[in-house]
Amino acid sequence: MSDNPCFLCGEKEKIKLCGSVPYNIVKCGGCSMVFVDPLPDKEFLESLYQKKYYDFSESQKKGRALQWMSRIGILDKFSKPGKLLDVGCGTGDFLKSAQHAGWDVQGTEFSGYSSREAGSAVNIPVFHGELEDANFPEASFDVITLWHVLEHIPDPAGLLQECRRILKDGGIMLVEVPNVNYALQKLKGYMNKGNAYFLLTFENSGEPHLNHFSSRHLAMAVSKAGFKVIKNKVGVPAYLSKSFFHNKWTYFYFRAAEFINFISGINIGYSIFIVARKV
Ligand SMILES: [Zn+2]
C-alpha cells in the first residue's frame, strides 16, 4: 500500500479490504471511505477509456435514453434552463437531451474519443481534458452535473472545489455515483469469494473506479467542498426500461431500495444521487 492520504479526511492509515495486484481496495482508518490504493497513473487510466468502454447494447441505450430524460425532469425541479456544464460528459447523450430541453450546454471529457463524439452530438466543442485545465471563468454556470464521474477521479476533492468556483452563487450541482453499500453486489462477492468487496476491483468489475462512496461519504465530500446537500437519495435508476437490469427481480430490488431509502434514509441501492447548492 502507498503513503497517500485519504482525500476526504487526510488520514494515511488504511485497512486492506480486497487484494488485487497492484491495486488494492482499502478502507480509510480515519473516516472509513473505501478507495483504490495505490492510484494508477494517468496513462494507464486513459488507456481504459477507449471506444469499447462506451459501446452499449441496444437495450442499454434505450434504458439510458430514458434515464437522461428522467434526470432532466429532476433538474427542472431545481433550476430553470440556463447555463449547464456536464463534467465527464462521455459521448454527449445527456448534453444533447439537455440542449433539446432548452439548456445552454457545455461539456468536458477526459477521453479523446468521447470528447469528439460529444462535440459532434451537440455541435459545439467539448473540452478534452480534466475540468481544472479548462480554466472556465469564475461563476460561469447555473448548474453543473457529474453523472458517474467522481468514482473515476484521482482527486475528487479538487474537482468538487473547482465546480464550486465556476458555479454562480446559489448554483446547483447534481452528482450521481455507484454505491459501495449496494447490497446485491456485496452479497454476490460474499457468496462467490467470501469477500463483500470482491466485485469492486478493476478485474472483476470491468470498471476503472478509484473511489467507492457510501451515501454518507458522498455527502461529506460535497459539504467539505462548500455545498449544502439539499437531497440525498437512491440514484435515478434506468429501470424505466426493465431490460436494462436484465430481469424483474433486479427491477423489484431497485424499487425496494427506493422504498427503504424513503422510510429510513439508508441507501442500499445501486447508486447515490445528491443535489447540492453552492453556499
Ligand atoms: Zn478518510
Using the predicted structure, report yes or no on whether residue 98 has a pLDDT greater than 60: yes
| Same domain (yes/no): 141, 249 | yes
Give the whole-angstrom CA distance, residue 47 versus residue 258. 36
Give residue 11 CA to ligand 1 midpoint distance, Å: 5
Packing angle, helices 112-122 and 93-100, rounded to 10: 20
Rounded Cα–Cα distance for residues 183 and 268 (Å): 5
Give the CATH number of the domain where residue 224 resides. 3.40.50.150
Q: What distances in angstroms separate CA 242 from CA 59, 111, 178, 269, one per listed residue?
A: 9, 29, 19, 16
Does one domain contain both 84 and 202?
no
Of residues 188 and 42, the one with the higher pLDDT is 188
* Greater model confidence, 241 or 10: 10
- Are 221 and 201 part of one and the same domain? no
Are residues 243 and 113 part of one domain? Answer: yes
Residues 105 and 198 in one domain: no
In whole angstroms, what is the distance from residue 276 CA to residue 163 CA?
A: 11
Q: Where in 38-140 does DSSP place strands (E)?
A: 83-87, 104-109, 127-128
| pLDDT for 23 beyond 70 | yes
Most confident of 20-24, 152-156, 272-276: 272-276
Taking the centre of ligand 1 as the mean of its atom positions, its distance from the CA of residue 132, in whole angstroms, is 23
Confirm whether pTM is higher than 0.85.
Answer: yes
> Out of 120-124, 136-140, 233-237, which region has the weakest mean confidence (pLDDT)?
233-237
178 C-alpha vs ligand 1 centroid, how far in Å?
18
Domain that holds residue 209: 1-39+182-213
**Centroid of ligand 1 to alpha carbon of 242 (angstroms):** 37
Is the per-residue pLDDT at 244 higher than 80? no
53 and 103, same domain (yes or no): yes
**Ligand 1 center–CA 40 separation, angstroms:** 19
Residue 13 CA to ligand 1 centre (angstroms):
9
pLDDT at 245 (0 to 100): 53
Residue 14 and residue 56 in one domain: no
Same domain (yes/no): 164, 94: yes
Last residue in a domain, options 213, 234, 268: 213
Residues 207 and 218 in one domain: no
- Rounded to the nearest angstrom, the distance between the alpha carbon of 12 and the centre of ligand 1 is 8
Tell me what pLDDT residue 86 has.
Answer: 98
- Whole-number Å distance, alpha carbon 153 to ligand 1 midpoint, is 16
Instruction: Write out pLDDT tens, residues 61-86.
Output: 677 777 888 889 889 899 999 999 99
Are 203 and 254 members of one domain? no
Question: Per-residue pLDDT tens for 114-131?
Answer: 899 999 999 999 999 999
185-196 average pLDDT score: 89
Distance 30 CA to ligand 1 centre (A): 5
| Helices assigned H by DSSP within 49-111 | 58-78, 93-100
**Which range, of 28-37, 183-192, 263-272, averages the lowest pLDDT?**
183-192
Ligand 1 centroid from CA 27, angstroms: 8
Higher pLDDT, 206 or 35: 35
| Model confidence band, residue 203 (pLDDT cutoffs 50, 70, 90) | confident
As for how many domains the chain has, the answer is 2
- Residue 167's pLDDT is what? 98
Q: Is residue 49 predicted with pLDDT exceeding 70?
A: no
Rounded to the nearest angstrom, the distance between the alpha carbon of 38 and the centre of ligand 1 is 15
Q: Using CA atoms of 5, 8, 10, 11 in order, give the dihedral in degrees to the nearest 10.
A: -70
30 with 55, same domain: the answer is no
Q: Are residues 153 and 268 in the same domain?
A: yes
